[in-house]
């Protein structure tokens, strides 16, 4: 993560992080519900840990859905052929570390 993004998150000015919907991020974020996320500052050992409020999936039209339903299953709307995912959004909450 670049310095500018890292700084705005640390200052509390940014609480949503978007990553590409690809095999790397799907495996790490959507294979099962997670409680926290570790955000690394690019090229350093510096990091921050945050609670995850919720994970979203954004399609090519900008429509966002919750990745998981109340039962912690993948949202059925996201499995529709009409929903073409493009990004994953991490809505971060309280800082843990």
pLDDT at 88 over 90: yes
pLDDT at 72 over 90: no
pTM value is: 0.84
pLDDT of residue 74: 79
Listed by start position, the domains of the chain span 3-95
Interval 24-56: pLDDT, tens: 999 999 888 789 999 998 889 999 999 999 999
pLDDT of residue 65: 92
- In terms of Cβ atoms closer than 10 Å to its own Cβ (0-12, 13-18, 19+), residue 57 is buried
Q: How confident is the model at residue 76 (pLDDT cuts 50, 70, 90)?
A: confident
Distance CA(77)–CA(68), nearest Å, equals 10
pLDDT at 70 over 80: no
83 neighbors 50 (Cβ within 8 angstroms): no
pLDDT of residue 85: 93
Query: Would you give the end-to-end CA distance of the chain in angstroms?
Result: 17
Nearest to 94 by CA among 56, 62, 60, 52: 52
């Amino acid at each position: 993560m670049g310095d500018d993004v890292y700084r705005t998150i640390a200052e509390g000015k940014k609480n949503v992080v978007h990553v590409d919907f690809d095999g790397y991020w799907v495996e790490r974020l959507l294979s099962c519900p997670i409680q926290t996320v570790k955000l690394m500052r690019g090229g350093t050992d510096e990091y921050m840990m945050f609670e995850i409020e919720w994970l979203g999936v954004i399609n090519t039209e900008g429509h966002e859905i919750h990745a998981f339903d109340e039962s912690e299953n993948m949202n059925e709307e996201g499995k529709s052929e009409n929903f073409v995912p493009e990004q994953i959004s991490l809505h971060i909450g309280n800082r843990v570390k």
